């Protein structure tokens, strides 16, 4: 690694540590309806939306009503995006006259964007019209991210309430997350990206003549506005097929770095928001520290793996499959950040990562996308681990576990177990099914260990709502469109529903004052316990599968043998 590589890594981590608490305080105020510096400009828009949609922002909801409202919105979103794709040939803003999308792919894509997964089994420039990209996919980038923030706010709110049946108002939380957080941040980033060279136009595709005197189609479109929210909302779906490696989505080193920062910024800030919303900042900093330690550990392993000598290729710091403009370190930073933050965008081929780098990418997803994680989803996933951690601590000392003044009973533990484990079950089940059936193995580009990794990565990605992929797998088949769609649905709502149920249970409980027997959850000891819970649960679930994939491939590479 060169000095510039170290500077890039340290600058990213430093800026995250600097801006996370500032943005975290702003988010906590925004979700509470308190006045912020943007209130004079945006409060009129917020109130206009309430009037237009007949929303009573003062009305509180129980967890079941909150959950039903969320599911209805997401279900309606899936239907709208599905219809936009199927009938896009008949709709305006389709200058390339693209045909309608086949229903299996359209259903998969609609579910993908509604669940904040943004798994793409298509090439955007040859499959989606401008209208579908903007009204369908870009809108869902906002809605799915705002949904995650809303669930996080409701769950956090439940810790501050006592003996009540309500956890907030879903529609109010959704509007505030969109208007005060996602929309202004996306507007600023989109303007900056357009200035860097990311395209933003409604013009038809252009035809250019190459130096070889051949014709080449240059795809265009309103990309900058979608790239901004895909990164800030940890969505990741590319406007173009090459995603973050396409020069029209990520043209300069500065745009590459700013998009990287955007991917991690809101998830990191929400850890700090957790402390501010509880009026206990140390609670947020403990979770932030655990997330940062896991991120730095994974990044260190990946940097070591990519800059070490590959004995099969006989080179150190292989650029095979990587974006030359970003280099090895820029590509590695991106792969680690996106898999840690539930963002499916790529600027290099994960298929070409060193075995240990692929292992880190998979592990980041397999622990439930809680190493910063998706917008909102990373935090409520980490809270599920925190509940398990205090339960384990309670078993050790023979005392009823408590977290943030709330007694943790069997119901909260069961909900946490469902939230943590069900997506793992889905990953392993569908991986085994795909390996067994010809419909699953026929889509592979290679056989053997690496072929197994392609399948395992695909279902780890979809069931944990990440969206990135080993590019060697042909996912646009009936089998993979249906199985990955089901994995995305289970992965998203098997966490949201239990966590909202937990929020309802916690809000109904009294707040117990701390005593001499209370296990403190705002110090280093709890941070170590939480860290161990995340790592051990992930290892126990997936160690056998990882041994069959990247670990064997790494040992083969050390022996100088290819796959």
| 289-302 mean pLDDT | 96
Q: What is the pLDDT of residue 114?
A: 96
Among residues of the chain, what percentage have pLDDT more than 90? Answer: 76
What whole-number distance in Å separates Cα of residue 214 and Cα of residue 386?
59
CA 507 centroid distance within chain: 27
Residues with Cβ within 8 Å of residue 173, at least 6 apart in sequence: 31, 146, 149, 150, 153, 154
Q: What is the pLDDT of residue 470?
A: 85
Q: What is the pLDDT of residue 562?
A: 64
**Which 3 state secondary structure label does DSSP give 523?**
coil
Residue (of 295, 319, 141) closest to 233 by Cα position: 141
Alpha helices, H only, 308-376? 327-340, 355-366
Q: What is the pLDDT of residue 98?
A: 94
Buried b (16+ CB within 10 A) or exposed e, 471-500: ebbebbbebbbebbbbbbbbbbbbbbbbbb
The per-residue pLDDT of the chain, averaged, comes to 92
Tokens describing residue 196: 């860097």
pLDDT at 432 over 70: yes
Q: pLDDT digits over 238-276, tens only?
A: 999 889 889 999 999 999 999 999 999 999 999 999 999
Q: Which residue has the higher pLDDT, 287 or 351?
A: 287
Q: What is the pLDDT of residue 5?
A: 86
Q: pLDDT digits over 266-284, tens only?
A: 999 999 999 999 999 999 9
Q: Which H or E element spans position 217?
A: strand 215-218
349 C-beta neighbours (distance < 10 Å), count: 19
> Is-contact 223 242, C-beta < 8 A?
no
Q: pLDDT digits over 468-484, tens only?
A: 988 788 999 999 999 99
pLDDT range class, residue 453, cuts 50, 70, 90 = very high
| 416-433 mean pLDDT | 94
Of 151-160, 371-380, 418-427, 464-473, which gets the smallest average pLDDT?
A: 464-473
Q: Angle at the Cα of 450 (from 449 to 453), degrees rounded to 5?
A: 95
| 73-87 mean pLDDT | 97
What whole-number distance in Å separates Cα of residue 250 and Cα of residue 330?
12
pLDDT at 529 over 90: yes
Instruction: Concatenate the DSSP letters of all residues of 51-82 into one string.
Output: HHHT--TT--B-HHHHHHHHHHHHHHHHHHHH
| 428-447 mean pLDDT | 92
253 C-beta neighbours (distance < 10 Å), count: 15
pLDDT at 527 over 90: yes
> Is-contact 435 455, C-beta < 8 A?
yes
Q: What is the dihedral of CA 323, 324, 328, 334, to 10 degrees?
A: -30
> Is-contact 239 223, C-beta < 8 A?
yes
Q: pLDDT digits over 114-133, tens only?
A: 999 999 999 999 999 999 99
What whole-number distance in Å separates Cα of residue 321 and Cα of residue 354?
11
Q: What is the pLDDT of residue 563?
A: 62
| 495-514 mean pLDDT | 94
pLDDT at 317 over 80: no
- Catalogue the long-range contacts made by 191-195 (C-beta closer than 8 Å, 24 or more residues apart): 191/224, 192/258, 193/224, 193/227, 193/228, 193/255, 193/258, 193/259, 194/224
pLDDT at 65 over 80: yes
Q: What is the pLDDT of residue 425?
A: 94
Domain ranges of the chain: 3-279
> Is-contact 28 182, C-beta < 8 A?
no
Widest Cα–Cα separation across the chain: 80
Q: Which residue has the higher pLDDT, 558 or 297?
A: 297
Q: What is the pLDDT of residue 292?
A: 97
pLDDT at 339 over 80: yes
Q: Which H or E element spans position 403?
A: strand 402-403
Q: What is the pLDDT of residue 235?
A: 92
């Amino acid at each position: 690694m060169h000095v510039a590589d170290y500077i890039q890594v340290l600058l990213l981590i430093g800026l995250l540590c600097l801006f996370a608490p500032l943005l975290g305080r702003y988010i906590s105020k925004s979700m509470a309806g308190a006045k912020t510096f943007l209130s004079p400009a945006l409060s009129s828009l917020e109130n206009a939306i309430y009037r237009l949609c007949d929303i009573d922002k003062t009305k509180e909801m129980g967890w079941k009503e909150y959950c039903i409202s969320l599911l209805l919105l997401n279900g309606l979103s899936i239907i709208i995006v599905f219809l936009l794709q199927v009938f896009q040939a008949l709709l305006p803003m389709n200058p390339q006259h693209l045909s309608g999308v086949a229903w299996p792919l359209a259903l998969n894509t609609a579910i993908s964007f509604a669940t904040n997964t943004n798994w793409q089994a298509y090439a955007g420039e040859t499959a989606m019209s401008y209208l579908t990209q903007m009204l369908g996919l870009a809108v869902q980038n906002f809605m799915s991210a705002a949904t995650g923030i809303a669930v996080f706010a409701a769950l956090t709110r439940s810790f501050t309430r006592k003996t009540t049946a309500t956890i907030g108002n879903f529609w109010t939380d959704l509007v505030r997350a969109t208007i005060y957080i996602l929309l202004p941040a996306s507007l600023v980033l989109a303007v900056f990206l357009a200035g860097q060279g990311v395209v933003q136009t409604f013009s038809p595709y252009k035809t250019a003549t190459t130096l070889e005197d051949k014709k080449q189609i240059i795809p265009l479109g309103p990309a900058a506005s979608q790239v901004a929210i895909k990164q800030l909302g940890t969505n990741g779906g590319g406007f173009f097929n090459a995603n973050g490696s396409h020069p029209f989505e990520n043209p300069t080193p500065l745009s590459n770095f700013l998009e990287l920062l955007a991917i991690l910024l809101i998830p990191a800030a929400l850890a700090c928001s957790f402390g501010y919303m509880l009026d206990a900042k140390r609670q947020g900093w403990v979770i932030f520290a655990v997330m940062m330690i896991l991120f730095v550990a994974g990044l260190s392993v990946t940097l070591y793996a990519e800059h070490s000598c590959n004995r099969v290729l006989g080179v150190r710091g292989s650029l095979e499959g990587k974006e030359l403009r970003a280099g090895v370190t820029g590509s590695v930073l991106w792969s680690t950040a996106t898999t840690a933050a539930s963002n499916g965008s790529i600027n290099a081929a994960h298929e070409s990562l060193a075995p240990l780098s692929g292992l880190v990418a998979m592990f980041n997803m397999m622990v439930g996308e809680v190493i910063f994680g998706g917008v909102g989803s990373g935090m409520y996933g980490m809270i599920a681990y925190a509940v398990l951690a205090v339960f384990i601590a309670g078993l050790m000392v023979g005392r009823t576990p408590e977290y943030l003044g709330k007694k943790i009973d069997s119901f909260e533990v069961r909900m946490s177990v469902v939230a943590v484990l069900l997506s793992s079950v889905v990953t392993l089940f569908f991986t085994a099914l795909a390996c067994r059936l010809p419909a699953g193995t026929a889509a592979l580009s290679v056989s053997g260990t690496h072929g197994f990794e392609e399948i395992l990565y695909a279902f780890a990605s979809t069931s944990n709502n990440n969206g990135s992929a080993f590019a060697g797998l042909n996912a646009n088949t009936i089998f993979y469109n249906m199985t990955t769609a089901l994995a995305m649905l289970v992965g998203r709502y098997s966490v949201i529903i239990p966590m909202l149920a937990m929020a309802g249970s916690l809000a109904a409980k009294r707040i117990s004052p701390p005593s001499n027997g209370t296990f403190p959850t705002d110090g280093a000891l709890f941070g170590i316990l939480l860290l161990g819970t995340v790592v051990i649960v992930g290892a126990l679930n997936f160690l056998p599968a990882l041994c069959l994939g990247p670990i064997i491939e790494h040992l083969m590479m050390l022996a100088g043998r290819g796959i």
